[in-house]
Amino acid sequence: MHNLLENLRRRLLAQRTPEPLPPTSQGLARPSHDVVRGPCDADIPPDARNTMMPEGITVEEALAVAELPQKHALDILATAQAIRSVHKGGPAALCGIVNAKSGRCPEDCAFCAQSSHHATGSPVHALLDAETLLRRAEELRQSGAERYGIVTSGTRLTVRELATLCEAAVRIRRETGIALCGSLGQLTPDAAACLKEAGFSSYHHNLETSRSFFPAICSTHAYDDDIATVRAARAAGLRTCSGGIFGMGETDAQRIELSATLRELDVDSIPVNLLSPIPGTPLQHRPTMPPMRALVSIAIYRLMHPARDILVCGGREATLGPWQSWIFLAGANGMMVGNYLTTTGRDMADDLAMLATLGVRA
């Protein structure tokens, strides 16, 4: 193993991730500086999780790992897997989503099938009713998913849509018990507080890419708008889930730049998406990432974030193909199951069988 990797491995393994906190009579963890090791920290206040998060490697070290020759790729994965097994060694975290409001988005994100700027033929529908949202929640709960992401297109929800969704959330929590995650666009502090009160425990809002590459991907809103949303969610006591998409033309250094920003924001969970080029979008002819480059990039994120959740989500089928199980060897500790927003995911039974074979899920 390369000396750099061996030194990083020793240093990261020497750090200790505290055990999960005991519940109080209200079912929440007692306030503490400890970090929770479990795969789904749904009900633990953010400040109780991250104030003593084990330190990951520096940006400079991450760049050095990214520049190692291809012959060291397996050693990079092995290093990340060792870190994952110590700091996030519980069962694989699983989440699923519903496309609760689709299409006609005014944003011009170059990768997105739902943008009104692109001719993609993507489905268009208004906000789903409570019964449909409840049915999907129950399907995911029965499949073993711990978290249910309700995703809507558009810059942000209207006041009426937010109220409708919060009413549905109360019922979903009462009847299924599944943890709720909102992915509803830009968020104000008042909207974040409303979601928290309705029973949402987490908020997802991707930065998508680094600040330096963002202008090549989107021109209709500012990078700081997305950062403000993540901060508003965290300030409201919501668990924050934010990551990006690999393979849009960014460099290794820009993926690492995004990782550093996520660390500065102290997010709880990092979803990694791999570009699946959609016909009709500006990135339709973009080749998919080489599988090993994608896996090495995931591994570098684990080295930078030893104890945060890292879930591989959209695009894993198109980019990784038969190597999908390698995401856990690369340091990921979870994945999205079921279908995505506008593309079909792998059969859930196949994913569950894969997880059982790997021993990361019963």
Binding site residue list: 105, 109, 112, 181, 241
Note whether 240 and 265 are within 8 A (CB). Answer: yes
Note whether 346 and 300 are within 8 A (CB). Answer: no
CA gap 241, 27 in Å, rounded: 22
Helices (H), the chain: 3-14, 46-50, 59-66, 73-87, 130-143, 159-176, 189-198, 223-235, 252-265, 291-304, 316-320, 326-329, 348-358
Binding residues for [2Fe-2S] cluster: 181, 241
Binding residues for [4Fe-4S] cluster: 105, 109, 112
Q: Which of 59, 51, 47 is nearest to 210 (CA)?
A: 59
Q: Which of 25, 64, 28 is nearest to 46 (CA)?
A: 28
105-132 as b/e, with b when 16 or more CB fall inside 10 Å? bebbbbbbbbbbbbebebeeeebbebee
Crossing angle for the helix pair 3-14 and 73-87, nearest 10 degrees?
0
From first CA to last CA, the distance across the chain in angstroms is 32
273-290 as b/e, with b when 16 or more CB fall inside 10 Å? bbbbbbeebbbeebebbe
CA gap 205, 210 in Å, rounded: 14
- In single-letter form, the type of residue at position 206 comes to N
